Copies of this chain bind each other. A is one copy, B any other.
């Protein structure tokens, strides 16, 4: 209820501040029997680590995950999995100044209004470090989905004015480029653009796209818990996201029905759609086509230009933010989008298992 939990049947609860002792997540409802070791999670966490490239902050965060419970002899036991990521490199001294004023574009002011005060070290709970817990849990969700034949893949779609060209799509480039773009040419252009931003003490927004393949039809619920509604919440809950699209997304508002409708057709004795404007969801329920969504991220609010703001004494002041900040949040957010999508889809797959009486009778009376 206080908002640090997500999901119903596969339910995660994250905790931790940027400069506390550690961050972590508890996963309740993970099915028993999944082979799991720390390395399965670590490879996901490594994708959101800072300090890897010229366009990211030189901060070092070890982000090494430890499994504290819920796994026995290499397999999940069905009981809560507690994951812990110690905070190792934080120096609170870096942040002492920002205790006294409200950084534009950050949650400093709103946290004070909500809670009366705030842990100002590195943004506290509002730091992007909070997503480490999401990614750790999402790694497990992704591994489970893979067992069901479902794959989730996110990548950078655009940074500022630079868009990828889908005809150049190289999957491997997602992990190898500094921008997480699956198009090396676009990656170069975007990197150049970001360097220019950095020179100008400025930052850039961008777009992450995510595709779910192997999705069975029939997943999701008709009204408030539509699959796309839950995905929308999942994605919008990532700090810095200001818009979410499913399928054709905002283009639908200028489209006509004759363009937007996806025709059904038979293929290999299966019902498929000839196009996928809907992005894999009709009426809140998966239609068997790939699920496609996009998240629009705002530019990093921590810029090094002089900015106007207010201090805690209620005086107008000019400030210059210091420290180590990425000029764009998108590359490190790619894995976060992927993980939030995986968590949402898995939860819906689990909920779907009791949608029909025949599923229950098959389960409890397998011989009938």
Contact = CB atoms under 8 A, between A and B. Distances in A.
Given A31-B360, A115-B355, A224-B237, 11 more contacts: A4-B221, A8-B8, A77-B124, A114-B218, A229-B236, A232-B235, A243-B250, A250-B250, A253-B296, A264-B310, A353-B354
B262 A222 contact: no
Given A32-B355, A246-B236, A11 B5 contact: yes
Given A4-B80, A117-B75, A69 B21 contact: yes
Contact of A203 (B104, B257, B355): B257
Contacts of A21: 66, 68-69
B80 A303 contact: no
A102 B271 contact: yes
B285 A107 contact: yes
27 contacts: A1-B1, A1-B11, A1-B28, A2-B221, A5-B28, A5-B224, A15-B82, A20-B68, A21-B68, A22-B69, A72-B124, A104-B262, A105-B282, A107-B284, A110-B220, A110-B286, A113-B288, A114-B220, A125-B223, A126-B284, A148-B365, A158-B253, A230-B233, A231-B236, A243-B245, A245-B296, A353-B360
Number of copies: 4
Interface string A294-319: 00111111110101111000111000
A174 to B, nearest CB: 18
B299 A80 contact: no
A257 B203 CA distance: 5
B254 A115 contact: no
A166 interface: no
A113 B220 CA distance: 11
Interface string A1-23: 11111101101011111001111
